[in-house]
Structure 1
Amino acid sequence: MASSDMAMGVIFLSQTVIGLLGNFFLLYHYSVLYFTRATLRSTDLVVKHLTVANILIFLSKGILQTLSALGVNYFLGNIGCQLVFYVYRVGRGVSIGSTCLLSVFQAFTISPRNSRWAELKLHTSQYVGLSHSLILCWVVNMLVNSVVPMYMTGKRNGKNHTTKKDVVFCSVIRNNRFSYSLPVILFSCYDFLCLGLMIWACSSMVFILYRHRQRVQHIHRTNLSSRSSPESRVTESILVLLSTFISFYALSYLFTLWVTLINNPSKWLVNIAALITACFPTISPFILMSRDPRIPTPGSACCE
């Protein structure tokens, strides 16, 4: 095995282990809060679904990408490839949808009472309504991605196809350009819709926070401390999460498009695209934990 393949395998293994540990710890933390204190924010419900989706990403494609980088490629049959990519696509779609829902929900939450979103704000503040939206997100992604198994096959499959494109440990069937492009367009529409809503929500939250700080600036200088409110801290955490997602998504989309347009992409290019795609599921739990005062840090635990 080449040293470059070994290095890439170690990088994938480290990313998968760190991502799984971070998401499992965050999910465990919110579960403990729910069963012991029964005090969860509405945004915590979205974060729980986000962590579950991230875990599915690592358990499906993350582990297999690590094995493939280490040189183990021909271990999945047709059903294995179809199942892995279906679970991965559902997890990825729910991860994007949950992040989008989190941003839109928080934008409505911090909007002024006299804004045109005031009536919608009353509905989004309901825990049940948010739960139904998350369930709908799972159902939509499970239905939309049901076409994925039709285009996946194992590399050991001996059947002849018009066009067969390898994606490291599996292959994509491309019998004709139209049938292959249709699901790609469908998935892209979903991604761009969520991305557009995230950019709108991010811009709205920045504008609302800016105006709010302008109004209370003189109060902070006289009577109140400059400490931000819990709602502002949650909003700032979501803004950091959104900016991280948008940055990695844009970079991942460029590399994925590059891999798609090339007939025979190199293994190095495919690995880099997969590495960048998994960056957000790896980093997101640590961003949320670092900005949540309810999660004890090692330093605070030592001081108690």
Structure 2
Amino acid sequence: MTSSDIILGVLFLFQTAFGALGNSFLLGLYSITFFIDPRLRIIHFLLSNLTLANDLVLLSKGIPQIMAAFGFNNFLDDIGCKLVFYLHRVARGLSLCTTCLLSTFQAITLSSRSSRWADLKARGLKSIVSICFWCWTLNLVAHYLTLLYIKSPNRTKNITERNDFIYCSLKTDVPLNATLYIFTISFPDVFCVAILIGTSGYMVFVLCRHHQRVKYIHHNTITPTSSPETKATQTILLLVSMFVSFYSLNAILTLYIYLGKVTFWLVHTSAFLAACFPACSPFVLIVSDSEILKYSLAFWKRIKLLVK
């Protein structure tokens, strides 16, 4: 094991550990807050779903990458490889769907002053749980081909029929099905990314228009304050821009790997980019959402009362 392997292992270890800690903190906080105050806002329900998906992405990708970086390349059997890659694909798709729902929900919230958008928002609030359920179902079904093509390296004898992912391999001996596999994965992702870009552009337009309308009010104000709605929109825009950036780079590298251009550093770079958004997003939420501090203080006060 070389010094570069140790550096990679430590890098993946810190990324996975801190990311999982941040997501688990938010997931636990939102879950406990729901039992303390059942009037949990829809945006918090979506954020809980996002943190759960991010945790699964980090654990399913980070732990195998850490072990591979430290020299344990054949620690997964055939079933283990299938389950790890399948869980990662499902969680990654769920993270994309939830981020898309967050962006769409906030765009509708900004436009809810008109009667048409208000009705749409009301219907969306009633069906948001069902939509999240269908997101889970869609991703569980869409990535079933992963179970057919992912193999353990020691179970794949013909090296020309696989792409080596260091600790697992992708069987590519059936071009038609491989094309179907790539299309099944890419089409929902491209559709969701298009929605993300569209809703984000719309929110930027609404915020700019609102800023122009109230500009004269804050003209003589040294430190104008933003509304909670504006702050929430800015946070979601930051999350969306992070997601699209990291996702696009990872998608390009993943496609390059599927085409057979596999190198050690390319696989690790793709894995690192795939885990950047799940690792960074909880800390963006913690820093930008003042209500997280309020919920944390309320939780600790409740704990102290129970202890007394």
Common fold by TM > 0.5:
yes
- In the other structure, the counterpart of 1:233 is 231
What pairs up with 1:71-86 in 2 under 5 angstroms? 71-86=71-86
Match of 1:172 in 2: 170
Distance, in Å, in 1 between the alignment partners of 2:9 and 2:290 is 35
**Counterpart residue number, 2:306:** none
Write out aligned runs for 1:255-274 (5 A). Answer: 255-263=253-261, 265-274=262-271
Structure 2 residue matching 1:219: 3-state secondary structure: coil
Q: Which runs of 5+ in 1 are unaligned?
A: none
Aligned partner letter, 2:205? F
* Alpha-carbon distance in 2 for matches of 1:152, 1:172: 5
Alpha-carbon distance in 1 for matches of 2:183, 2:63: 28
Structure 1 residue 260 displacement after superposition? 2.3
User: Any unmatched runs of 5+ in structure 2?
Assistant: 298-308
User: Structure 1 residues 42 and 225 mapped into 2: Cα distance closer, same or farther (>3 Å)?
Assistant: farther
- What is the CA distance between 1:289 and its match in structure 2? 1.1
Partners of 1:161 and 1:173 within 8 A in 2: no
| Segment of structure 1 superposing worse, 24-33 or 222-231 | 222-231
Distance 1:216 1:158, change over 3 A: closer
Percentage of identical aligned residues: 42
2:207 is aligned to 209
Q: Is the 8 A contact 2:104 2:199 kept in 1?
A: yes
Residue 247 of structure 2 aligns with which residue? Answer: 249
Q: Which amino acid aligns with 1:46?
A: L
Q: Once the two structures are superposed, what CA deviation does each residue of 1:262-299 show, in whole Å capped at 9, x if it has no partner?
A: 34x111111011111110000011111111112229xx
Distance in 1 of aligned mates of 2:258 and 2:158: 21
CA-atom RMSD, angstroms? 2.2
CA contact (8 A) 2:112 2:121 kept: no
Report the secondary structure of 2:154's partner residue.
Answer: coil
Q: Relative to structure 1, is the Cα distance of residues 146 and 222 closer, same or farther in structure 2, using a 3 angstrom cutoff?
A: same
Shift of 1:158: 5.4
Query: In the alignment, which of 150, 153, 161 is matched to residue 152 of structure 1?
Result: 150
Judge conservation of contact 1:12–1:66 (CA < 8 Å) in 2: yes
Pairwise CA distance, 1:258: 2.4
Aligned residues, how many? 296
Residue of structure 2 in register with 1:135 after alignment: 133
With 252-261 and 213-222 compared, the bigger mean Cα shift is at 213-222
Task: State TM-score, norm by structure 1.
Answer: 0.91
Query: What residue in structure 2 maps to residue 291 of structure 1?
Result: 288
Distance 1:193 1:147 in 2: 20
Distance (Å, rounded) in 2 between the aligned partners of 1:290 and 1:109: 22
Residue in 1 that maps onto 2:122: 122
Distance 1:224 1:13 in 2: 44
Q: Give the Cα separation in 2 of the matches to 1:269 and 1:195.
A: 23
TM-score, scaled relative to structure 2? 0.90
- In 1, the alpha carbon distance for the partners of 2:244 and 2:103 equals 12
Paired AA for residue 203 in structure 2: M
Aligned to 1:110: 110
- The answer to whether the Cα contact below 8 Å between 1:56 and 1:87 also exists between their aligned partners in 2 is yes
CA deviation map 1:45-83 (0-9, x unaligned): 111011111111122121011100111010111111111
Native 8 Å contact 1:162 1:176 kept in 2: no
Aligned to 1:188: 186
Residues 58, 279 of structure 2: 8 Å contact kept: no
CA deviations over 1:14-72 (Å, ceiling 9, x no partner): 11101110100111111222122334221111110111111111221210111001110
Inter-CA distance 208–284: structure 2 relative to 1 (3 Å threshold): same
Tell me, yes or no, if the aligned pair for 2:61 and 2:275 is still in contact at 8 Å. no
Alpha-carbon distance, 1:147 to partner: 1.6
2:274 corresponds in structure 1 to 277
